[in-house]
Structure 1
Amino acid sequence: MSTDIPKERSSLSTLKGLLPFLLPYRRQFILAGIALLVAACATLAIPAAFRQMIDLGFGHNGKGNIEHVDLTFLALFAVACVLGIATAARFYMVSWLGERVTADIRNAVYSHVVTQSPQFFETTQTGEVLSRLTTDTTLIQTVVGTSISMALRNVLLFIGGLVMLFITSIKLSSIIIVMLALVVLPIILFGRRVRKLSRDSQDKIADASAIAGEILNAMPTVQAFTHEHIEARRFADSVENAFGTAMRRTRARSLLTMMAILLVFGAIVFVLWLGARAVMNGTMSGGELGQFILYASIVAGALGALSEVMGDAQRAAGATERLLELMEVQSPIQNPAHPRALPQRAVKQTGGASLSIRDIRFHYPSRPDTASIAGVTLDIPAGQTIAVVGSSGAGKTTLFQLLLRFYDPQSGEIQLDGVNIRDLDLHTLRNAIGVVPQETIIFSANAMDNIRYGRADASDAEVMAAAKMAAAHEFIEKLPEGYQSFLGERGVRLSGGQRQRIAIARALLKNPPLLLLDEATSALDAESERLVQGALEVAMQDRTTLIIAHRLATVQRADKIIVMEHGRIVETGTHASLVAQGGVYAKLAALQFNLASEHT
């Protein structure tokens, strides 16, 4: 299954994709529809009341009946009251629907995106996703909360006004229908261009958001290389590009509106001129002409409003298209149809889990010609500590990603406690694994919540115990508000070593049967490393642990050391046996320990 976002689909039919989000709120739609129908009927009753007032109230020769005038104006006021109440009810209901449906779409899209594998984020920028979650859903809110209601209202007014036009004068109405048919065709054709420009405009805004998101997440690097002006200019160029596309869309939409108004009203004015001549000839009463003029105005106004609504609908179609594209992306990493359970030992998280890796081969989807793992076979008994060493790019971190099923190997299999990990529910698998990643992630929350991320139901005492094991308790207690101290976005208020100890505490709180340490002590100073190393040794007891480390001093006491190069295991043994072999590990050890002795 592809994680690539598909492109361009069809026109306004794309809006049908919103139906699953609209159907749960049928009751609200029915209530809004009733209010809409009542308001439309009240609007269509006004011209008929004016005809009565002109023909019966004023009478012939300008002498009328005052009672008819009074009754007509009372009726008009009653119609206005009904119109006001119905319009307010319609506005409230459709606004509620717009807000509710938009919230549901945002939740659905976000919930879908967070289930995607890392492969999706290799090719999709975070800013692009955020743009679709914010800008595009706002456009849909406009359509659901305003445009659909306006469209239905004006369709009712158009149809109702048209019917009343024919009742008033078949001849004039026939002429106006023919003329309107001739002017609507160019409006529809021009509307297609507006839709394409709307899609382009949204894409350009998403590009600008992607650039901004990327740079704001890398501000220390940008400032360290004094690229502030360069990045500001790059963002400005992207914004200007989006502005230019938006203005092309605005010009096209302005022309569409102008065409609609000129052509439609031009046709109506011509027909009304014919009607005025009919009154002069005595073939039509003044009240009938007045009624015809008002109904013609309603029909023309409805058409003009529909052209405006069409512009919003075209933009919303593009937004819906982009959101549905995200919803259609399927992660290649799927739960099995009938997941198996892990043996009871791993489920209880007492003791380590055995791991068996059988001839796995893997290349990243973005680098199909380069093998990151090339035929690795490895058996790890429960409770052992295995160190994985090698130069950068040897495949160590990739091996961890395959264990977590962030990716699946192209061939071979991985078994956890004798169960193929492809047969396990993803949550079952990942709940059995604790990870301390190379790049520490700290969330915008306090220290307590950051550590509790390891196990959401952990008590405060359990969180503090994990922090003590990770040598984090002391520095957390010294923070202004202790465990309740906000750590800043991405942990900017902490040092690298402090962030690393928070991550270690998080993994220890989870207490999994399999622990993956990816350079877990890489960001620590000598004293912190000594404290954390002692804590990790306690945590690794009766637990299967895989350690990635460039600093060989941290892995000397491992039960087994695996040396990787170019995605293959090239050496296996203990520290002493590998040094004695005089191979790759011996060279790495000689280099590191010689350098260390030179600096002592």
Structure 2
Amino acid sequence: RELAGLDRLAALYLLVLVASFAAEYIQTWTMQITGQRIMYDMRMTIYRHLQRLDLRYYDRNPVGRLMTRVTSDVDVLNDLFTSGVVTIFGDVFTLAGIMAVMLWMNWRLALVAFAVLPLIAIVTQWFRRNVRESYRTVRGLIARINAFLQENITGMATVQLFRREGVNFGRFDVIDRQHRDANIDSIFYYAVFYPAIEAVSALASALIIWYGGASVIGGTVSLGALAAFLQYSQRFFRPISDMSEKFNVLQSAMASSERIFKLLDEPVAVESPAQPAVRPPASRRGRIVFDHVWFAYNQARPDGEPDWVLKDVSFDVEPGQRIGIVGATGSGKTTLISLLLRFYDVQRGRITIDGVDVRDLDLGDLRGLFSLVLQDVHLFSGTVADNIRLGNTAITDERVRAAATAVHADRFIGALPGGYGAAVAERGATLSVGQKQLLSFARALAFDPAILILDEATSSIDTETEMLIRDALTALMAGRTTIAIAHRLSTIQDMDKILVLHKGVVRESGTHQELLAERGIYFKLFELQYRNADAAPQSREVGVQS
């Protein structure tokens, strides 16, 4: 019978072990899965919010800093689950249960043990206040490191060309040293905090032995009860020690969460109206009007007046009309386009398309009217066809090929391994500047826009290639409202109207011949560009005739 009872105890013990293993497995699995799902949702929420923020926010925040929010800051929050910090609630319940048992066993000894709790509270408050600030500094410096690396790795060719390796190494050393010192500060606080908790625990045991020993001698407490109480006191400080260890991860996560929620709280300055205006389909070609537009990137100078980039700009573009915009660097040419696409909102005046203020249109509908060809072409990792289509499933393979053929991009695409399926490296690193520019033309044509914007679109193309795409540009602009920004006046001489911007103000307006006859800013720009070219005599002849 005794052996049978022993077998039952052994079987029960084995069952408890299996149940404990299963429970721990389920808990770990659940915590890890929950953590991964929360991190996935948080990254998607952050990225969705980043896509809604206007360009003004990106003008003042480095890319590397924003990448830190989506990557390492979110990973730190995941440590809340992987390190078992969520089990801190179990530690609290365990602590409360042990306190209740200690009070039940001997309330006097319990009060002696609890006398050290104010010391724990003081040490914890000191630790929390200092280590949280230390973690804020650490997370901020990680963002600075990422921003520095992103900027300098992207521009490594320039760094090496101008032999700035030593200078940049010194700058990185300063940031990295600050990061190291900030971590050392946090290590100091932990080096003090953990031994302090252990010292308080030892002090509590000493007080129990001192008071309990006197009680044993006095006969009010048995030796066995004192020994049991000492065991419970050690169990009492174990969850406190566990919580202090988890406090490390918690403080780091709190610092990261502050930065994440600060980003999520960033207001969306440019967004679609609650009830967007509906434009009739017949107006898809688009009549554009700039009506007394004022705009400043910096809201105010020290004297309180905004630093205006555009000042009282007014002009109109008729459907199908081709407009050229010229002016010195910094005159506000590209800013006009950014306002038209509503990357920024105007401070004064308004911009309308077919009589509808762009601020009253849905952002997707507004930007769907345009195709933009920039001087600095941005290509994404993927295939050649993907970079022409840009995820628009309505653009078929046939349409992609037709667009590439129209701008003569099919010549170099056919020579690539894989053709339209050839891989494109990040930012098109494997393609020449001219090839990237041709792809941007094919992209614009494939989207069949109502309004075409060319921002110095042929500046990176050699003369032979420019001749090849001139006919394609003519076909692309046919029937479309076109706005072309140019420094090379040869690219806009055939435009229906040319605007001359100077220091944010439209100084002149007219055709190429009309502006030459005025002998104003445009005439001077034309003379400067063609002084030693064949067109120079023509400019002088026009000047004599005027």
When normalised by structure 1's length, the TM-score is 0.84
- Secondary structure at the counterpart of residue 243 of structure 1: helix
Which amino acid in structure 1 is aligned with residue 326 of structure 2? Answer: V
Q: In 2 relative to 1, CA 461–268 (structure 1 residues): closer, same or farther, beyond 3 Å?
A: farther
> SS of 2:372's equivalent?
strand
Distance in 2, matches of 1:94 and 1:146, equals 10
Identify which of 316, 323, 343 aligns with 1:406. Answer: 343
CA contact (8 A) 1:362 1:372 kept: yes
- 1:364 aligned partner: 297
Change (3 A) 1:90 1:287: farther
Q: CA-to-partner distance for each residue in 1:13-38, whole Å, 9 max, x for gaps?
A: xxxxxxxxxxxxxxxxxxxxxxxxxx
Q: Which residue of 2 aligns with 1:39?
A: none
Give aligned-pair identity as a percent: 32
User: Which amino acid in 2 is paired with 1:213?
Assistant: Q
- Kindly provide the CA deviation profile for residues 98-128 of structure 1, in whole angstroms up to 9, marking residues without a partner as x: 1111121111111111211110011111111
| Cα shift at 1:521 | 0.5
Q: Which amino acid aligns with 2:286?
A: A
Shift of 1:293: 3.8
Aligned counterpart in structure 1 of residue 385 of structure 2, from 445, 448, 459: 448
Residue equivalent to 1:555: 492
After TM superposition, give the deviation of residue 231 of structure 1 in Å: 1.4
Q: Which residue of 2 aligns with 1:355?
A: 288
Cα distance in 1, alignment partners of residues 7 and 120 from structure 2: 41
- Which residue matches 2:532? 595
Gaps of 5+ in 2: 537-546
Match of 1:219 among 143, 147, 156: 156
How big is the alpha-carbon RMSD for the aligned residues of Structure 1 and Structure 2? 2.5
Residue type of the alignment partner of 2:229: F
**1:503 and 2:436 correspond:** no
Name the residue aligned to 1:41. Answer: none
Match of 2:267 in 1: 330
The equivalent residue for 2:418 is: 481
1:574 aligned onto 2:507: no
SS at match of 1:480: coil
Report how far residue 498 of structure 1 moved.
Answer: 0.7
CA distance in 1, matches of 2:235, 2:415: 72
| Aligned residues of 2:451 and 2:480 also touching (Cα < 8 A) | yes
Q: Which amino acid aligns with 2:475?
A: V
Residue 338 and residue 167 in structure 1: after superposition, are their counterparts in 2 closer, same or farther (change >3 A)?
same
* From 172, 184, 188, the counterpart of 1:247: 184
Mapping 1:81-120, distance limit 5 Å: 81-120=18-57
C-alpha deviation, 1:455, in angstroms:
3.3
Counterpart Cα distance in 1 of 2:184 and 2:13: 44
Q: Quote how far apart the aligned CAs of 1:585 are.
A: 1.2
2:244 corresponds to? 307
Change in CA separation of 1:69 and 1:138 when aligned onto 2, cut-off 3 Å: same
Q: CA deviation at 1:529?
A: 0.8
Native 8 Å contact 1:191 1:311 kept in 2: no
Q: Output the amino acid matched with 1:142.
A: D
Structure 1 residues without counterparts, runs of 5 or longer? 1-64
| Aligned partner of residue 308 in structure 2, secondary structure | coil
Is the partner of 1:166 in helix, strand or coil?
helix
Give the corresponding residue for 2:106. Answer: 169
Contact persistence 1:187–1:259 (CA under 8 A):
no
Q: Secondary structure at the match of 2:375?
A: coil
Aligned to 1:19: none
The corresponding residue for 1:203 is 140
Distance across 2 between alignment mates of 1:287 and 1:83: 31
Quote the Cα distance in structure 2 between the aligned partners of 1:539 and 1:287: 96
Confirm or deny: 8 A CA contact 2:123 2:193 kept in the other structure. Answer: no
- CA spacing shift, 1:397–1:454, aligned 2, 3 Å: farther
User: Comparing 590-599 with 424-433, which one deviates more in the overlay?
Assistant: 590-599
Match of 1:268 in 2: 205
* CA distance in 2: counterparts of 1:473 and 1:458, whole angstroms: 17
CA gap of 1:560–1:454, structure 2 versus 1, over 3 A, is farther
Q: Secondary structure at the match of 1:547?
A: strand
Shift of 1:573: 1.1
1:341 has 2:281 as partner? no
Cross-structure match for 1:141: 78
Aligned residue type for 1:116: L
Alignment of 1:391 with 2:328, yes or no, is yes
Which of 181, 185, 208 is the equivalent residue of 2:122? Answer: 185
- Counterpart residue type for residue 299 of structure 1: F
Q: Distance in 1 between matches of 2:42 and 2:264?
A: 10
SS of equivalent to 1:372:
strand
Query: What residue is the counterpart of 1:536 in the other structure?
Result: 473
Residue in structure 2 matching 1:459, options 382, 388, 396: 396
Query: C-alpha deviations, 1:414-462, integer Å up to 9, x for none?
Result: 1112211010011110011111122211112221111111734311111
| Secondary structure in 2 matching 1:357 | strand
Residue 166 of structure 1 and its aligned partner are, at CA, apart by: 2.4
Of the structure 1 ranges 194-203 and 226-235, higher mean CA displacement relative to structure 2 is found in 226-235
Q: Distance in 1 between matches of 2:125 and 2:3?
A: 48
CA 1:420 to 1:385, structure 2 compared with 1: closer, same or farther past 3 Å?
same
- Alignment equivalent of 1:469, drawn from 406, 416, 420: 406
8 Å contact 2:516–2:522 — kept in the other structure?
yes
Distance 2:415 2:213 in 1: 89
Q: CA shift at 1:227, angstroms?
A: 0.9
After superposing the two structures, state which structure 1 stretch, 91-100 or 173-182, moved more.
Answer: 173-182
Quote how far apart the aligned CAs of 1:78 are: 5.1
Task: State whether structure 2 residue 58 is matched by structure 1 residue 121.
Answer: yes
Structure 1 match to 2:541: none
What letter corresponds to residue 442 of structure 1 in structure 2? L
Distance 1:121 1:341, change over 3 A: same
Structure 1 window deviating more from structure 2 (279-288 vs 451-460): it is 279-288
Contact kept, 8 Å, 1:340 with 1:423, in 2: the verdict is yes
What is the SS of the residue equivalent to 1:597? coil
- Counterparts in 2 of 1:78 and 1:173: CA distance versus 1, 3 Å: farther
Matched residues in 1 for 2:387 and 2:299: separation? 32
TM-superposed CA distance for 1:527, in Å, is 1.1
Question: Is 2:456–2:484's contact at 8 Å kept on the other side of the alignment?
Answer: yes
Q: For the residues of structure 2 that align with 1:457 and 1:69, how far apart are their CA atoms?
A: 75
Q: Write the distance in 2 (CA, Å) between the matches of 1:73 and 1:244.
A: 55
Distance 1:87-1:298 versus aligned 2 partners, 3 A rule: farther
Distance 1:589 1:488 in 2: 39
Give, in whole Å, the separation in 2 of the partners of 1:266 and 1:79: 36
Structure 2 length-normalised TM: 0.91
2:67 counterpart of 1:130: yes
Q: 1:390 touches 1:564 (CA, 8 Å); kept in 2?
A: yes
The 2-side partners of 1:269 and 1:66 are apart by 44
Amino acid at match of 1:363: A
Q: 2:453 aligns with which of 498, 516, 528?
A: 516
1:596 partner SS? coil
The offset of 1:313, in angstroms, is: 1.1
Q: Distance in 2 between matches of 1:185 and 1:68?
A: 52
Alignment partners' CA distance in 1, 2:422 and 2:102: 71
For each residue in 1:353-412, what CA deviation from the matched residue of structure 2 results, as whole angstroms up to 9, or x when unmatched? 111111101111277543211111111110011111111111111100010011111111
Moved more, 534-543 or 337-346: 337-346
Return the alpha-carbon distance in structure 1 between the equivalents of residues 506 and 409 of structure 2.
35
